[in-house]
Each structure stands twice: as structure tokens, then as C-alpha cells.
Amino acid sequence: MGQDRPYISTDCIVFDESDRVLLIRRKNDPFRGQHAFPGGFIEIGETAEDSARRELKEETGIEAGELRLLGVYSDPGRDPRHHTITIAYLVRVQGQTPVAGDDAAAAEFVAHAEREKLAFDHDVILRDALKLHAETRP
């Protein structure tokens, strides 16, 4: 796949009231069958925040309230398909149950998500999210 600039995506790292992390199981390559955060590519005319909310809703049925910027992850090798930059958001929800949809084969809140093998560079993003979540927990 040729390209002359990076692709831009968003990811949501969602914590529930029990401090579990929302993970999807990828339906498609790359990393088919592995856990990942809900996310995807920003569409033309869409803000990063709108993209994050849309992808979260499409893949898990979860409605995001406040989005807190976690960071921007831009390692050129983070996605084997092409150079992709992701904007990651921390989200906290209560009383919502995920339902897999769109590109997700499964969606669930997982305790000790750091023990899972995650797709892309999501292990790096998770470490940052766990730290921010602990520092800013209500």
C-alpha cells in the first residue's frame, strides 16, 4: 500500500467502575484474534474526539462521556500495514455492558489487562493509561 503521509487513528482506553479495561478481540488482520483497544481511522471531516466516540460505539456499543487525552503514539512501525499515528484517549464509564460490533469479534471488560497479549503498541499505551488512571482517579 503506497502512501505519501501517515494515517491518523484514535483509540479509547476505557475503565469501568471496577477498574477493568475494555478490550476488543480483533476480527481482521493485522493481529486477528488478539486483544486491542477499540479504535480506528479518523474520517474526512471528523474531529479526533468524534472519531474516538464513533469507533468506541461501533465496536463495543459503549457511549463515551468525557474524553481525556492520554497521548499521541507515532512510532512508524506501530502498524505493520502503514505508518499510522494514533491519538489515545482515557475514558471512564459506569454501568455499561459492551457488545461486539463492526471490526470487533468480541468486546469485554478485562481485569489485569496488562497480562494480555495486545495488538500494535497497545501494551505501551496501556502502561501510560494505567499510570494516568491511577493519578487522576476520582
pLDDT at 1: 45
Using a pLDDT cut of 70, give the percent of the chain over it.
99
Please report whether residue 106 resides in a domain: yes
Has residue 18 been placed in a domain?
yes
User: Could you tell me if residue 1 is inside a domain?
Assistant: no
Cα–Cα distances in Å, from 33 out to 27, 41, 60, 134? 6, 19, 16, 29
Strand 21-26 versus strand 104-110 pairing type: antiparallel
Residue 83 covered by a domain = yes
Average pLDDT of every residue of the chain: 95
Checking if the pLDDT of 124 tops 90, the result is yes
Q: Does some domain include residue 127?
A: yes
Query: In CATH, what number is assigned to the domain containing residue 113?
Result: 3.90.79.10
Find, among 34, 30, 59, 138, the residue nearest to 10 by Cα.
59
Query: Domain of 34?
Result: 7-136
Question: What domain count does the chain have?
Answer: 1
Does the structure show a pLDDT above 80 at 3?
no
Q: Could you report the per-residue pLDDT of 77-88, keeping only the tens digit for each? A: 999 999 999 999
- The reply to whether 97 falls in a domain is yes
d(CA 117, CA 34): 7
Within-domain flag for 123: yes
